[in-house]
Structure 1
Amino acid sequence: MMEIGPTSATADIHKADAAPARPLPAGSAPAAPQPAADDSVDLTDGARQLQDLQAAVAATPVVDSVRVAALRDAIANGSYRVDAQAIADGLLAQDRAALG
């Protein structure tokens, strides 16, 4: 059976890991990298559209209280009717879209 020992590169890694860290001068903190004055970011059209969509979704209320009130009134007074054909068409359209 052949025994494999550490290579010189591995030994150097362990030496580097074992070396003590140099202390910072008293009262100083590590300096954060500063961006260059000419740094800039260019967004693609897709990224801009995504930002616009995210903003629109964030601004849209989760519940349309006016619509809920109208449906509640229609159910209460008996005028709400379910359109079974429209529901079936919608389900089939979702299935077609999901299946490609």
Structure 2
Amino acid sequence: MPIEHDDRVSRAVIISLFTWRRAEQDDDTDTPMGWWGDTWPTVQNDRIGSRLHLLKRTTLTPQTAQKAKEYIAQALKWMTEDGVALRVDIEVVRSGTD
């Protein structure tokens, strides 16, 4: 059974959000982590994943939610650049205190 287009897009979004992207130099972390394949990209500065993992020990505030939205936008930007999507709409909602 062939994979439906929606399934492929959903899978691409999940991989983009939950693969650890290497931290940038100005990120406040001692361990940059990230996917080893980004060390030798076939396209210059092409990187996979998101930096959402950097928020795992951050206090949940409106600023944290905004940072999460920025990380999500960065992780999904390739979809519009590569023509997979015309646009990507992101909505971040804080629910509860966890």
By percentage of residues, which structure has more helix?
1
**Structure with larger RCO (C-alpha < 8 A, sep 6+):** 2
Q: Looking at CA atoms only, which structure, 1 or 2, has the larger radius of gyration? A: 1
Give the TM-score of the pair, scaled to structure 2: 0.23
